[in-house]
């Protein structure tokens, strides 16, 4: 671990000159996500020349612009596919993706499924604010039932997309969800995600007072933080209640967002497996060549 530094020094160290102020609104959680990421990188002591960021389109996808590192700000939904190429051609790089709920779970859902399934070694920070913020508040696939958005003016009738459960089912190596209101756990998860050799998804619930909060009686900056407190439950606690709780307790927690680490397994990532395949073929070819056959 490197020497202790304070938040101000941390930002000075990792933010790109000339890009501030950010586009983020007052009360937006994305700044916290940037901070947590910096802390994780700082604590891991990563060389920023060997970290590449990628993102799609949306508020959270603007984040790589503010970080002093290589960054590929791509097209809507496609960041994970771009990131797959970045990692493929230079496995030395730590690839970190910033994406949003619309970007990742909406338009980019299929890329997400396959990057997770292939277990591509990258760290995906999904900033879930339940809304298309940049375009002015349209319904996101992760929005809870009943949410008001400009395209669900009478309340959302769809089921919300539980992206962590999906990632888990796909066998992603690391899956965690935390609200941005928890300061330490996200940092720990980002660190664990970066260190994991496979696909890591860290979903950070990040408030959007402007586009989501205002329409859903959560417009005050602190109100979404409070909402997270009332509507999330640690995975362990959830499971305990499901196993041993009363019927009423179980009813109460059923609709809550589980938070914590859903999955943390060690398994070789795609490119590690691919390297083995190449090794095998090269050895076979070289033996054949030396053996004198054409």
| Interface with other proteins (CB under 8 A) | 16, 18-19, 48-50, 52, 54, 64-65, 68-75, 78, 81-93, 110-111, 113-114, 118, 270-271, 274-275, 277-279, 281-282, 285, 289, 294
> CA 273 to CA 176: how far, in whole Å?
24
To the nearest whole angstrom, how small is the minimum distance from the Cβ of residue 8 to other proteins?
A: 21
In degrees and rounded to multiples of 5, residue 263 shows phi and psi of: -155, 135
CB-nearer residue toward other proteins: 71 or 260: 71
To the nearest whole angstrom, how small is the minimum distance from the Cβ of residue 219 to other proteins?
A: 27
> CA 27 to CA 18: how far, in whole Å?
23
> CA 43 to CA 194: how far, in whole Å?
11
CB-nearer residue toward other proteins: 118 or 191: 118
CB-nearer residue toward other proteins: 52 or 202: 52
For residue 277, CA distances in Å to 72, 114, 117, 191, 270 come to: 29, 20, 18, 29, 11
CB-nearer residue toward other proteins: 38 or 270: 270
To the nearest whole angstrom, how small is the minimum distance from the Cβ of residue 179 to other proteins?
A: 29
CB-nearer residue toward other proteins: 26 or 293: 293
Strand boundaries in 224-286, DSSP class E: 232-234, 257-264
To the nearest whole angstrom, how small is the minimum distance from the Cβ of residue 81 to other proteins?
A: 4
To the nearest whole angstrom, how small is the minimum distance from the Cβ of residue 71 to other proteins?
A: 5
> CA 183 to CA 171: how far, in whole Å?
27
CB-nearer residue toward other proteins: 62 or 191: 62
Q: How are beta strands 232-234 and 51-55 bridged, if at all?
A: unpaired
> CA 263 to CA 152: how far, in whole Å?
33
To the nearest whole angstrom, how small is the minimum distance from the Cβ of residue 193 to other proteins?
A: 19
């Amino acid at each position: 671990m490197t020497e202790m530094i304070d938040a101000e020094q941390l930002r000075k160290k990792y933010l790109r000159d000339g890009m501030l102020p950010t586009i983020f609104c007052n009360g937006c959680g994305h700044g916290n996500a940037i901070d947590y990421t910096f802390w994780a990188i700082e604590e891991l002591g990563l060389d920023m020349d060997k970290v590449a960021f990628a993102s799609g389109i949306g508020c959270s996808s603007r984040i790589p612009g503010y970080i002093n590192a290589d960054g590929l700000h791509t097209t809507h939904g496609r960041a994970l596919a771009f990131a797959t190429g970045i990692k493929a051609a230079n496995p030395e790089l730590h690839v970190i993706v910033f994406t949003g709920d619309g970007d990742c779970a909406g338009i980019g859902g299929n890329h997400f499924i396959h990057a997770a399934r292939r277990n591509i070694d990258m760290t995906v920070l999904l900033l879930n604010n339940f809304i298309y913020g940049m375009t002015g508040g349209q319904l996101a696939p992760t929005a809870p039932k009943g949410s008001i958005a400009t395209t669900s003016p009478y309340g959302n009738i769809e089921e919300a997309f539980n992206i962590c459960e999906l990632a888990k089912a796909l066998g992603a190596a690391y899956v965690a969800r935390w609200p941005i209101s928890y300061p330490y756990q996200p940092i720990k998860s980002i660190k664990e995600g970066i260190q994991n050799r496979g696909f890591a998804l860290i979903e950070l619930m990040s408030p959007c007072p402007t586009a989501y909060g205002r329409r859903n009686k959560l417009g005050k900056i602190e109100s979404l933080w409070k909402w997270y407190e009332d509507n999330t439950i640690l995975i362990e606690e959830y499971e305990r209640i499901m196993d041993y709780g009363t019927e009423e307790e179980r009813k109460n927690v059923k609709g809550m967002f589980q938070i914590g680490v859903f999955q943390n397994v060690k398994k070789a990532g795609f490119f590690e497996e691919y390297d083995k395949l190449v090794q095998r073929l090269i050895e076979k070819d070289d033996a054949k060549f030396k053996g004198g056959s054409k």
